[in-house]
Each structure stands twice: as structure tokens, then as C-alpha cells.
Amino acid sequence: MFTQPATRSGDRVRAFPVRLPSGARYWTVLDADLRVVPVADSFLRQVRFGRDGAESTTKSYACSIALFMRWCTATGRTWQAGIEQLALFMTWLAHAGAAGAVVLAGPGADPPRGARRINAVLAAVRGMTVHAVASGEAAGHLVPLLFEVADDRDLPVEARGDGGRMAWRLRARHRVRETETPVSRAADADIAGVIAGCRSARDRLIVLLMARAGLRRGEVAGLRRSDVHLLADSRQLGCGTPRAHVHVVRRDGNPNGAWAKSRQPRTVPLDFLTVQAFDSYQLERMRVPEAAGSDFVFVNLFRAPVGAPMRLDAINDLVAAASRRAGVSPVLRPHQLRHAFGSNVADAGAGIDVIASLLGHASVASSQVYVHPSPARLRSAVDKVPSPRPVPERPR
């Protein structure tokens, strides 16, 4: 293994959160002198405010772009020159540790970043470059270095253009092949254990909304009481959707930082088990006077500040604590509960369009991971094939 220390100033390029006077928040990139990197900041502001992207999206992009700028600084390149040598940056991503040293790891060493993470970093860098070219901050010759023209024959049928005619698109030149792995879902037995390990009706309802309705952690924390319709007929509330359901709506400025990732509002039906959990939680919440004035569904009931909206990390903590009490190892993460819902809906025979609608995916391609057949479904298909029967001989 060969190791060469990186330039110190390169190590100090970082992602940084910004809060505007209006209360809106996004992430940017600072250089070693704590100055904003203009090309990165312009792109990240466009993602957040021009495209209505989530704050968490700008955080992910900022962290990725900071890695690229760190490598450029450490190797004495401008960012434009770094784009021209993006294959070298990919090598650095695959073998350099978090400390920023240039490390060539030999056989047996675990790579510091997987293929999926590397591709995510490259996507952010490409986005920044295209924005810089479009806004006149960089020369146009950088775009052909990142993309090649390709047809749409390798896309899923749902993602192709109408009319059956072949369309053309830009395809990224730099990409690491990702090994296709099953979605990380929570087992049904583990979910039942986590529910049993919850110590309050509130916590049980949170787990059920993720595992039985597929809500994201941020969507659960951002639910308002007006979003919950538990009546058989909600027309008196101005809602034409029948039976019990919740409305998932993106809202800016939530004090707990909750954010619905989907731009478009969606309606998610609730089963009887989840409705019962809502009833139990309502009785529990009524015993806490400080919670009465909050429009948020989930508030602090057992720790200060009582009555304040629950924070996102509190949802992680309660799922982890319930997992440990149930003896589930490794402990579950909130997104695994959502994955379990998507997989169960697919196993029940729902189409990919239904899965995408329930989970709030903007593209059906995001739902494709749930329709891969499980080993149990493959075994069931083989078992249904009839055994061969002897063919009667024809009379001569």
C-alpha cells in the first residue's frame, strides 16, 4: 500500500448549511479559507430554489461536490481541469479514505466508497458542470467530456417516449457498474418485534405508518392533524377520498426540519391496524396538555420540550431502541420499514405504477427494485409447473 499525504488545504473544503433571512435553508460548499465556492453555490441554490429540491438533496450534492473540490485542491487542479481528468477522480474516490490521503489499497483492503456512492458523487459533479456551462461560468467543451449521445433502447418501456419511435438522450461517460442487490427490507417478524418493543402508542403508530403505509421518516414527522382523515366518508372535510387515509404534503419551514421528498402531494390509504393505532395515540396525547396546541401529529410527550414537533433523529432513536428491546440485530432503520411496505405491496401482486404512487416515486424506475422476485416467489413459480406425464403411444 502506497500512501501520500494530501494537501492540508484540500482537506478543509467542506459542505456547510446556510439559513437565509426568510428561513429557507440549503447547503453550500466552502473552501479552505471559509469562502463560498461560487460555481458550487450557484448550482446548489438552483437545485434548492429553482427546482424546488429538498434541503437534504442539496446536502447530499454539497458533500459530493466538496469531495471533488477537495481532490482538485489536493492535486493542484482547477475544477475545470478536474472535469477533464474525471477518470483520475474516480480512482481517488475508489481508493482514498475519508481523511483525504491519496491511498492505493492492495488486495484485501475494503474500498472506502462503494459503486453507488461513487456514482452519486459523479452525478452531482456532472450537474454542477452542466449548470456552470448553461450559466456561462464554464466553457461548453466540458459537456461532451461528460456525456455521449445514446438511444433509449436500454430504458424500461415505461421510461421511453410515446409513439414507439426511438428517441435520443445524453448518457454519462463516467460510471461505475453497480452490483444489483436486493432492497434492504425489514422482515415481517422483525417489524412485529419492533412494534412489541415500542413503549408508547405514539411510537407504535410511527412504526406502522412506515411499515404499513410506506411513509418516509420526514413525511411522518411533517404530518399535520389536518392531513389525517379516518372517517369512512370525508366529504364534510372537503376531501372526496373515501375511507381512512393520510395526505402527504410538502411544506416549507417546518420547525423540526421535516420535509416531504415528493413534490406532488399524494394520498395513502390506511389499513384497520393503523387506524386503531391512531385511536390509541389520540387517547395518549390527550393526557398531555402541552400537546393540545400543536397541529403536528407527532409531538414530544415524554421529554422536553413537551408539545414540540418530534425531530427526525428522535424517530431513528425510537426505532433503534425498540429493535434492541425486541432483540432484533442489527437494529432496524426507518427506511427499511418503508422498503418492507414496498416489497409487501409488490408481493401482493400490485403493478409497478401502484407501487410508485403509494411510495411517492417521481419515476417508476425508482420502484423497479421492489418488483424483483424474491426466492420464495421463484420457488412458488417452480412448484406450480406440472410434472411431466407419460405420452400415450399412438396405435400403429
- pLDDT for the residue 6: 41
Cell numbers describing residue 377: 416467489
Mean pLDDT of 330-344: 93
- pLDDT for the residue 301: 95
| Confidence check: pLDDT of 341 > 60 | yes
- pLDDT for the residue 150: 66
The band of 347, judged by pLDDT with boundaries at 50, 70 and 90, is confident
CATH number of the domain at 188-376, please? 1.10.443.10
Please, is 286 exposed, middle or buried when counting C-beta atoms within 10 Å of its C-beta (0-12, 13-18, 19+)?
exposed
Nearest alpha-carbon partner for 170 in 189, 155, 158: 155
Give percent above pLDDT 90 in the chain.
59
Say if CB 280 and CB 195 are below 8 A apart: no
- pLDDT for the residue 49: 92
| Confidence check: pLDDT of 154 > 70 | no
Nearest alpha-carbon partner for 66 in 93, 90, 98, 30: 30
Give percent above pLDDT 70 in the chain.
87
Strand partners, 233: 242
What are the pLDDT digits (tens) for 99-129? 555 555 556 667 788 888 999 999 999 999 9
Strand partners, 296: 224
Rounded CA gap, 154 and 289, in Å?
58
Please, is 230 exposed, middle or buried when counting C-beta atoms within 10 Å of its C-beta (0-12, 13-18, 19+)?
middle
The band of 392, judged by pLDDT with boundaries at 50, 70 and 90, is confident
- Count CB atoms within 10 A of the CB of residue 270: 21
- pLDDT for the residue 281: 97
The band of 179, judged by pLDDT with boundaries at 50, 70 and 90, is confident
- pLDDT for the residue 346: 87
Say if CB 294 and CB 226 are below 8 A apart: no
Mean pLDDT of 342-364: 87
What are the pLDDT digits (tens) for 211-246? 999 999 999 999 999 999 999 888 888 899 999 999
Say if CB 299 and CB 309 are below 8 A apart: yes
- pLDDT for the residue 225: 94
| Confidence check: pLDDT of 149 > 70 | no
Rounded CA gap, 115 and 93, in Å?
10
Give CA separation, 392 vs 142, 308, 385, 395, in Å: 71, 78, 20, 9
- pLDDT for the residue 386: 83
Question: What are the percentages of helix, strand and coil residues in the chain, rounded to 5?
Answer: 45, 10, 40
- pLDDT for the residue 5: 40
What are the pLDDT digits (tens) for 279-299? 999 999 999 999 999 999 999
What are the pLDDT digits (tens) for 41-97? 999 999 999 998 888 899 999 999 999 999 999 999 999 999 999 999 999 998 876
According to DSSP, residue 226 is labeled G
Say if CB 251 and CB 263 are below 8 A apart: no
Say if CB 224 and CB 379 are below 8 A apart: no
| Confidence check: pLDDT of 148 > 90 | no
Cell numbers describing residue 140: 461548453
- pLDDT for the residue 201: 96
Structural domain spans, the chain: 2-139, 188-376
- pLDDT for the residue 152: 63
Say if CB 335 and CB 343 are below 8 A apart: no
Mean pLDDT of 13-37: 93
Q: Which of 23-37, 176-190, 349-363 has the highest mean pLDDT?
A: 23-37
- pLDDT for the residue 3: 36
The DSSP-derived string for 48-73 is IIIS---HHHHHHHHHHHHHHHHHHH
**pTM of this prediction?**
0.76
The band of 2, judged by pLDDT with boundaries at 50, 70 and 90, is very low
- pLDDT for the residue 1: 32
Rounded CA gap, 77 and 73, in Å?
6
Question: Phi/psi of residue 203, each to 5°?
Answer: -65, -40
| Confidence check: pLDDT of 199 > 60 | yes
What are the pLDDT digits (tens) for 246-279? 999 998 888 888 888 888 899 999 999 999 999 9
Nearest alpha-carbon partner for 10 in 42, 37, 28: 37
The band of 352, judged by pLDDT with boundaries at 50, 70 and 90, is confident
Provide the mean pLDDT of the chain: 87
- pLDDT for the residue 171: 82
